[in-house]
A and B are shown apart, each in its own frame.
Chain A
Amino acid sequence: MLRIENIKTFYGNIQALQDVSIEVKKGEIITLIGANGAGKSTTLMSISGIEPPRSGKIFFEDQDITGMDPDKIVSLGIVQVPEGRRIFPFLTVRENLDMGAFLRTDKEEIKKDIEYVYSLFPLLAERKNQPGGTLSGGEQQMLAISRALMAKPKLLLLDEPSLGLAPIIVQQIMDIIKKVNTENKTTIFLVEQNANLALKIADRGYVMETGRITMKDTAKALQQNEEVKKAYLGI
C-alpha cells in the first residue's frame, strides 16, 4: 500500500533521514520505534509532504507521491495525527471534527461519521461545543484521532499517541486504534517511543536509530529480540 524507497530528508543542511525504506501492507498495523530524535516524526512528515525528501521515492497504492502537496496527499487517503495532537485551540470540538472532514462533500456521511466518533469517544459528544484548547491531554488525543478519522483515511499515521498520557488513557487509545484497524480496515502506521505498547498491537515493526532503519521484523520477533529488549523494552 505504502512503499518508501531510500528517502533522504534534510532540515536545512542537517540530514534527518538516511536511506529510509519502509513498506506498509494493506490492512496491517506497522510500528516504527526508536529513541527520541531518531527521525520517526520526520519520516511521517515526509510521507505527508510537509518535509518532502531530497531524494528517494514514496509510493502510495502504486502512485508516486514524492513531493506532492500536503493537501493532495490527504485527498489520496493518507492522514496524520501529529505529535503533540495539535488541536485547534479556539475551534470547538465539533469544529475541529469538521476540519477533519474538510475535503469531503458527502454531508450525510459526514454526519454519520461524527456520530461514529462520538460513539468511540462519548466524552467528545459531551464537550462538542467546548473550545478544543480547554480539553485535557487525553481528551485532546481522542479528539485528534477522531479528527483524523473524519477524513476517512485509508492509511492513518499516528505519531506518539501515548505521549504524556496516564496509563489508563493510553490503554483506551490503543484499544481504539486496534478497533479502527479491525472494524474499518484502516491501515495504521504507528510511531512510538513506548515500544512495549506498540509491539503489542502491531503486526510488524521497524526500529530506527539516528535516521536509519536498523531492524525490521514481525512484532512478535522484535519483542523476543535481545537487542530490542535491552534498548527499548527495558527488560
Chain B
Amino acid sequence: MDHSYFFELFLGGMTRGSIYALIALGYTMVYGIIKLINFAHGEIYMIGAFTALIVSSVLGFTGMNPILILAIASVLAIFFSSAYGTTMEKIAYKPLREAPRLSALISAIGMSMFLQNYVLLAQTPDFLPFPDMIPDFKFLQPINKILNSTQFVILVTTAIVMILLTILIKFTKIGKAMRATSQDAKMAQLLGININKVITVTFIIGSATAAIGGVLISSHTGQLNYYIGFIAGIKAFVAAVLGGIGSIPGAVLGSFVLGWTESFGTGYISSDYEDVFAFIFLIIILIFRPSGILGRKQNDKV
C-alpha cells in the first residue's frame, strides 16, 4: 500500500468535499427555512465564478498583484451572487410561499434553466480559462505532490467560512432567529421576528458561500462555463441529503463523506465511474437512514 497515494486521495477528497460543503450549505439552510430545494442554487455558484473571471480579466490589465485581484474578485463574486440569490427569491419563490411546495420546486427548476441560458447567451457556450492567481507557497513544496497551493487555500478558506458561520448561527441574534424560524416560522412571527428578513439573510449567506466555492473551484480546475453549476449543484444537493437536509453540520459532513467516496472510488477502483459513486453511496445511506446521517426525524405535530 502506497501511503503517499492514500494521502493524496484523502486530501483530494477533502478538497472536493470542501467545495461541496460551501455549496451544500445554501441548499440545507434554504431548505431549513422555507422547505424548498432551491435547484437554481448551483447557478448562483456558477455566477459567482463568472463574476470572478470577469473582474480578474479586467483587473489583470492593470498589472495589480494577483492575490489582491483574487481578493477583489471574490468580494465582488460574493456581492453579485448574493444579489442574484435574493432577487431570485423575491421573484420566483416569495409569491409561492403559501403554494404547495411542488409549485415552488418547479419554479426553482425554471429559474435554474433561465440562469444557465442567460449566462450562455450573455457569455459563451465554450469553456473559458480561469487565471491561476494563487501563488505557490514555499512551505508546501515538500508535500507538493499530495497537496498543492490551491488545494491548501480551498481547505483553509472553507475552514474559516465554517467557523464564522457556526459562530453566526449559534451566537448571534439573527442566527438564533434563523434557527427559530426553521423550527416554527409562525411562532417566530408571533415573537416579532420578521421572517422576510430572515429569509433574505439566509439567501445572502447561502449565495455568498456558494460564490466562494465557485471562485475556489475555478482556480482549482482552471476553467469554467455556464454549465458548471449543474453537476456541482447536484453533487452538493446529494451531499446535503446524505448529511440530513436542513442540518448544517450534516451538510458539511455529507460533503466530506461524498468527497472522499469519489476520491477513493476513482483512485482505487476506476475513474470511469466518478459520478456513479456519489449516487451509489447516497442510495445505501438512504436505505438505512432515510433522513440522512445527521438528519432529524420529522416529528408530526398532533
Contact = CB atoms under 8 A, between A and B. Distances in A.
Interface residues of A, number: 25
A79 B183 contact: no
A234 to B, nearest CB: 26
B186 A50 contact: yes
B72 interface: no
Interface string A185-229: 000000000000000000000000000000000000000000000
Nearest to A70: B189
Contact of B186 (A86, A102, A148): A86
A194 to B, nearest CB: 20
Interface string B172-188: 01001101100110111
Interface stretch (B52-60, B115-123, B191-199, B218-226): B191-199
Given A91-B176, A95-B176, A102-B177, A82 B183 contact: no
A99 interface: yes
B190 interface: yes
A99 B176 contact: yes
Contacts of B301: 84
Contacts of A82: 186-187, 190
Interface residues of B, number: 19
A75 B189 CA distance: 11
Nearest to B174: A102
Contact of B179 (A50, A75, A91, A147): A91
A24 B176 CA distance: 34
Interface of A: 48, 50, 69-71, 74-75, 79-80, 82, 84, 86, 88-91, 95, 98-100, 102-103, 147-148, 151
26 contacts: A50-B189, A50-B190, A69-B194, A70-B189, A71-B189, A71-B194, A75-B192, A79-B190, A82-B190, A86-B186, A88-B184, A88-B187, A89-B183, A90-B183, A91-B179, A95-B180, A98-B173, A98-B176, A99-B176, A99-B177, A99-B188, A102-B192, A103-B191, A103-B192, A147-B191, A151-B191
